[in-house]
Amino acid sequence: MYRPTYTFKIGQQVFYYAGGRALKKKTGPFTVVALVRQPDGETKYRVKSHTHEHLALADELRLVLPKAKLAPE
C-alpha cells in the first residue's frame, strides 16, 4: 500500500509567502494545523497565524521552514 509523504508536519512552524505583489514577502509565523486533500488529488495545508485569529489554506510551494539559529561556539 502506497503511503504519501508530506513536506510539513502538523504542529510545525512555517512562514507563508502571500500571493500577488507580496509574493516575495513572507509572513508569519504560522503553525500547520491540518492537511486538506482537494478533490483533484492535490494536498494543501491549513495554517494558523500566531498573531491573528486567522486560518489560511496554503499550497506546499508557498510555505517555508524558519531558518535554524546556530548556537554560538
Task: Judge whether 16 and 63 are in contact, CB under 8 Å.
Answer: yes
Neighbours of 32 (CB within 10 A): 20
What number of helices (H) and strands (E) belong to the chain? 0, 5
What is the per-residue pLDDT across 11-21, written as a single tens digit (0 to 9) for each?
A: 999 988 776 66
Bigger pLDDT: 22 vs 55: 55
Look up residue 39 and give its DSSP letter: T
DSSP 14-28: EEEE-SGGGGG-EEE
**Cell numbers describing residue 5:** 509523504
pLDDT at 1 (0 to 100) = 61
pLDDT at 47 (0 to 100) = 92
Bigger pLDDT: 24 vs 60: 60
What is the per-residue pLDDT across 18-51, written as a single tens digit (0 to 9) for each?
A: 766 655 666 778 999 999 988 888 889 999 988 8
